[in-house]
Structure 1
Amino acid sequence: MAATNIKLLENYIGQLATKNKVISQNIANIGTEGYVRQNIKFQDMFESELNGSIKKTNSRHIQLSSADDLGIKNNIFLDKSKEPNGGINNVDIETEMAELAENAINFKFSSKKIAGHFQQLREVIKGGNS
């Protein structure tokens, strides 16, 4: 795995941690009247980079090397797309729990990919004979 991908996964894990905080805040405010659900948008940019959608097709093109180059930031926004649930606010516990589960799976996958990369590096350093 290239160092660029490790950097992207590290940034991705940071974004997932932020998303976890946003989801937790939504859940904590489920009974707060007038609270507007928050969300964060970053996944599409990471997925396109990790899937190799952004490729260097000409020698004069500049190769992107990290999420910072892509301008990926914590894009937290108020999600006004849903109607208030029960007249209190627009937080839906089922939606939040589903997003929390998806976030946990993505975090675990990314963490394992990074750990696997460093395990391979340890094996190479040891000479593969341990």
Structure 2
Amino acid sequence: MDLFGSSTFKTLERGLAGAQVRQNAISQNIANVDTPNYKAKQVSFKHTLNDAMNHSALKANRTNDHHYEFSRAKNSVAIETNRSTMYNHNGNNVDIDLEMAELAKNQIYYNALIDRLNGRFTSLQTVIRGGN
């Protein structure tokens, strides 16, 4: 029996990993707010979703012909650099207000994932204790 290999744990793990990548990019942007010619970085997961939606016939190895066809999507993250704008006279394009808002949004997302993960562990703990 694989307690931690369930799809819920794997999904939460991928979500936490994505939040960490986004946190790193936002932190770099905030740390370089006054660095001349620094260009803000942005984490994008949207292209992965679009790729998955554009492929109508997703294929995978099936152990039985009666199983649904599906695909194991790659969890690719794109870190993009925004070179199209310039907010400061020194060539820097970090918008500190936007970055602080994104930081707060990412923190809320991360906390929600942690709360859900804690709920899963609490459920396992209840089962192990025999319902007490």
Query: Taking structure 1 as the reference length, what is the TM-score of the superposition?
Result: 0.76
- Counterpart secondary structure, 1:97: helix
* Match in the other structure for 1:113: 116
User: What amino acid does structure 1 have at the position aligned with 2:113?
Assistant: S
* Match in the other structure for 1:11: 14
Query: What is the aligned counterpart of 2:26 among 17, 20, 23?
Result: 23
Alignment size in residue pairs? 112
CA pair 116-103 structure 1, distance change in 2 beyond 3 A: same
> Identity, % of aligned pairs?
32
User: What amino acid does structure 1 have at the position aligned with 2:34?
Assistant: G
Paired residues for 1:1-130 under 5 Å? 3-42=6-45, 59-62=67-70, 64=71, 69-81=72-84, 83-88=85-90, 89-129=92-132
User: What amino acid does structure 2 have at the position aligned with 1:59?
Assistant: H
The separation in 1 between residues aligned to 2:107 and 2:47, in whole angstroms, is 17
User: What amino acid does structure 1 have at the position aligned with 2:69?
Assistant: H
User: What amino acid does structure 2 have at the position aligned with 1:92?
Assistant: D
The separation in 2 between residues aligned to 1:74 and 1:60, in whole angstroms, is 27
CA pair 101-30 structure 1, distance change in 2 beyond 3 A: same
Could you say which structure has the higher helix fraction? 1
The separation in 1 between residues aligned to 2:80 and 2:17, in whole angstroms, is 17
CA pair 44-117 structure 1, distance change in 2 beyond 3 A: farther
User: What amino acid does structure 2 have at the position aligned with 1:120?
Assistant: S
Question: Residues 71-98 of structure 1: CA distance to partner in whole angstroms, max 9, x if unpaired?
Answer: 11231111234x2112231100000000
Task: Structure 1: state its 5+ residue gaps.
Answer: 47-57
Query: 1:43 offset after TM fit, Å?
Result: 6.4
User: What amino acid does structure 2 have at the position aligned with 1:125?
Assistant: I
